[in-house]
Each structure stands twice: as structure tokens, then as C-alpha cells.
Amino acid sequence: MDAPTITLGKHPTTLAKPSTFTALAMARGPDAFDSMQQAEIFALQAMSLAVCWPENKTWPGKFRPRKWRASMKVDEYGAAIFDDLISAGHGVGAILEAGIEAYKFCMMSLPRKQEVAEAEGFSEAPVGG
């Protein structure tokens, strides 16, 4: 999937691929979404924006979020980003519209089973002898 270009703020921005580990931490199955509260979904979408935002582009919030680390809770991290974007004057609808695209991009960036299977056992290292 090609990186989507979104507009949140003044200029269109082409999102950057997140790390695989970060995308995995954000992955939720369909059943999980059914049981999530609306605020949790909003936080997940806001986090998606932050982890996909290119470093060379101005962040549309008041403060550029620090990089997500495995020790951080996804919902708390995303909620702080959502609040920052709101305080910068973005509407809920605009954040969610961009956040949905960012979340889809995160999930599409994960390696697929077939890609993993094809990569297993592949090595360009010489066979010992």
C-alpha cells in the first residue's frame, strides 16, 4: 500500500511507515473494536497520526509528541495526542478522518503471513563447509 497523503492543518502530508513493533502494539481485531469505548478508538487514531507523521514535517498540534516506546500505554499516549490536536484548533471530525487513514496505513504496513513464510529460512550467508 502506498503511503496516504492527508491534510490536517495547512499542508497535505504524506505519512511515513511506522515501525513494525509500533504497528503491532496498535493492532486490534474486529472483536476488540466492538468492545472498545469511543474514546479508546479516538486515542488509537490519534496515535496513528503521531507514529506515521514524518519527522521533516511540522506537527499540526501545539507540541510534537515524543516517540512512542513499548513502556507507554497506547490509550494514554493517543489520548494526549488527541487533546493536543484539539487544543491546536482541529475539529474532532478532521482528526478522525485523518486518523482513520493513518490507522489503516499502520495495519497495512504489517508483514503478511505469506511475506513471513517467504522470508523464513532465507539467508544469503554462505553454507558452511
Average pLDDT, the chain: 88
pLDDT for residue 112:
75
Residue 40 is assigned to a structural domain of this protein: yes
Identify whether 96 is part of a domain. yes
pLDDT at 1: 75
The whole-number pLDDT of residue 52 equals 96
Taking residue 122's Cβ as centre, other Cβ atoms within 10 Å add up to 6
Residue 15 near residue 4 (C-beta atoms within 8 A): yes
Cα–Cα distances (Å) from 29 to 4, 26, 89, 105, 127, in that order, read: 22, 10, 32, 15, 41
Q: What is the pLDDT of residues 41-91, one digit of tens each?
A: 899 999 999 999 999 999 999 999 999 999 999 999 999 999 999 999 999
Distance CA 46, CA 43 (A): 5
In a domain, 75, yes or no: yes
User: Is residue 7 in some structural domain?
Assistant: no
Q: Judge whether 117 lies within some domain.
A: no
State phi, psi for 122 to the nearest 5 degrees. Answer: -80, 130
What domain count does the chain have? 1
Residue pair 16/52 in contact (Cβ under 8 Å)? The answer is yes
pLDDT of residue 119 exceeding 80, the answer is no
Answer yes or no: is 3 within a domain.
no
On whether residue 123 sits in a domain, the answer given is: no
Beta bridge partners of 95: none
Compute the distance between CA of residue 103 and CA of residue 25 in angstroms, rounded to an integer: 12
Please indicate, yes or no, if residue 126 is contained in any of the structural domains. no
The confidence score (pLDDT) of residue 29 equals 73
Backbone φ, ψ for residue 72 (5° rounding):
-90, 140
State which residues form the domain around 20: 12-111
Residues 95, 49: Cα–Cα separation, whole Å: 9
pLDDT digits (tens, 9 = 90+) for 7-46: 998 889 999 999 999 998 888 876 776 777 889 989 999 9
In this predicted structure, the answer to whether residue 93 has a pLDDT above a threshold of 70 is yes
Q: Which cell numbers in the block locate residue 87?
A: 487544543
